[in-house]
Structure 1
């Protein structure tokens, strides 16, 4: 996620320079043809076209931002649920009998958050889980298709074992299971966002209409702007192409790009809060790198 006050210009250029360069070449070609060959440029209703396109792109960008914000909201719920799970485990499980179980639940939740982050970003999971759990502890979850869900299931089994051992009563078990349900619901929402793209119409037609508008733009402006047509048309095209690109950037909040929801930073937040909850030393929070928080 870009956290700098102003996005770096090179990020914008890197994303739109190819279509913008093609548009500039087209603008120059139209201007040269207009002055070298006698033809009358058609009067195009560019204001009407541009207004309709702006509304279309604005609606698409709003839909993409809603997906991004929902992803951030779900991860906020995940952070809160992780804190609640650690607090309940710390307060409910007796010392010293359940000290190891208390620590195991906390470490499993930290491993779970990092496993979920990697799954959403389509990155290898095993190494992140083994940072916090032994191979024997992690092996049942690592053998499953959905590793993060396997870790939550394993935590539920350990809570059930604590009830059978007499360390928790059924009311405390219900409260802990309620937190696990909140965690599972948040994960389900994240997986829905990741696995359900915007409908094809939302992706295809805005791109098609934007490029068509950019092609028609210099033809409609050349009689008015003359030699300034390449500059004016390219600047106007930049605005539409940038809005189009914004929608593409925000539609997947877990794509591991500079526009991503900062999953690594939020996983570090979970790690810090949960380790400190059981009295362990914790790492420092992640800091932005060149204006980007990952």
Structure 2
């Protein structure tokens, strides 16, 4: 996620320079043809076309931003539920400095840190094994890493440990229900993230705005050359730049977990969870993640 307050015009130009260059060449060709031939540009209702296209692109960008914002809200819920899980585990399980209850509390907390990092890797289509093995032994990690959904396997293991605490008499059924409800909130957040990741925008939202924007850019110099003359390539390219940029914004936001500079900063939020949970069990924690060149990952 870009957190710098300075506009990154260079990145915008790098994203759209190829279609913009092709558009500029087309504008030049239309302008030259207009002045060396008896061709007269037809009167095109560019204002009407442009207004309709702007509304169409606006719907697309709003839909893409809604997906991005929902992804951010779900990760905010994950942070809150993670803190609640650690707090409940530390408060409900017996205070035991060296016994099995202490190890169980540490196991629940460390497994959950491994869980959020594993979920982050899954959403970015990366291998979660290295992150999971940072917090779990190979024996503990073997079962979840053998599953198709590694994060869900880790969450199942946490549920079994909470059930074990109830069987051992360390917590009662009410406390188990409270901890299990937190796991349900975590699972719901994960399900929402997977829904966003695995469900693309409808084809009409992806194909038609792109088609109409490019068609409008083709018609633009034909409708402007009468009034702009030799300045048509500049005026038409600037107007085309605006439409191409809006089109690209929708592409940037449609997948908030794509591991790009525009996605939800999952690495930083996982680090926040890691810090809070490690400090909850009295372990040393790493520093918060800082932006790199104005980007928070």
Residue 253 of structure 1: aligned partner? 256
- Distance across 2 between alignment mates of 1:109 and 1:11: 36
Q: Quick one: distance in 2 between partners of 1:138 and 1:172?
A: 26
What is residue 33 of structure 1 aligned with on the other side?
A: 33
Partner of 2:194: 191
Report deviation, 1:14: 1.4
Distance 1:59 1:199 in 2: 12
In structure 1, the residue matched to 2:5 is 5
Aligned residue among 214, 222, 225 for 1:222: 225
**For 2:129, which of 112, 126, 129 is the aligned residue?**
126
Q: For residue 88 of structure 1, what is the aligned residue in structure 2? A: 88
Q: Which string of whole-angstrom CA distances, capped at 9 and with x for unpartnered residues, describes residues 21-56 of structure 1?
A: 100010011111111112111110000000000000
TM-score, structure 1 length as denominator?
Answer: 0.99
CA distance in 1, matches of 2:230, 2:4: 37
Query: Aligned to 1:235, which of 233, 238, 251?
Result: 238
Q: What is the distance in 2 between the residues matched to 1:17 and 1:128?
A: 37
In structure 1, distance between residues paired with 2:232 and 2:40: 15
Pick aligned residue for 1:202 from 185, 205, 220: 205
What is the CA-CA distance between 1:286 and the residue it aligns to? 0.7
Distance, in Å, in 2 between the alignment partners of 1:43 and 1:288 is 51
- SS for the counterpart of 2:48 is helix
Aligned residue-pair number? 294
Segments of structure 1 that go 5 or more residues without pairing to the other structure are none
What is the CA-CA distance between 1:100 and the residue it aligns to?
0.8
Q: CA deviation at 1:194?
A: 0.3
Deviation at 1:95, TM superposition (A): 2.1
Aligned-pair distance for 1:7? 3.0
Offset from partner CA, 1:49-97 (integer Å, 9 cap, x none): 0000000000110011000000000000000000000000111111213
2-side partners of 1:279 and 1:7: how far apart?
Answer: 41
Please give the root-mean-square deviation of Cα atoms over the aligned residues, in Å: 0.7
Cα distance in 1, alignment partners of residues 7 and 162 from structure 2? 46
Unaligned regions of 5+ residues in structure 2, if any? Answer: none
Question: How far 1:229 moved relative to its partner?
Answer: 0.4
Give the whole-Å Cα distance in 1 for the aligned partners of 2:290 and 2:64. 26
The CA distance in 2 between the partners of 1:95 and 1:27, in whole Å, is: 75
Distance 2:40 2:146 in 1: 70
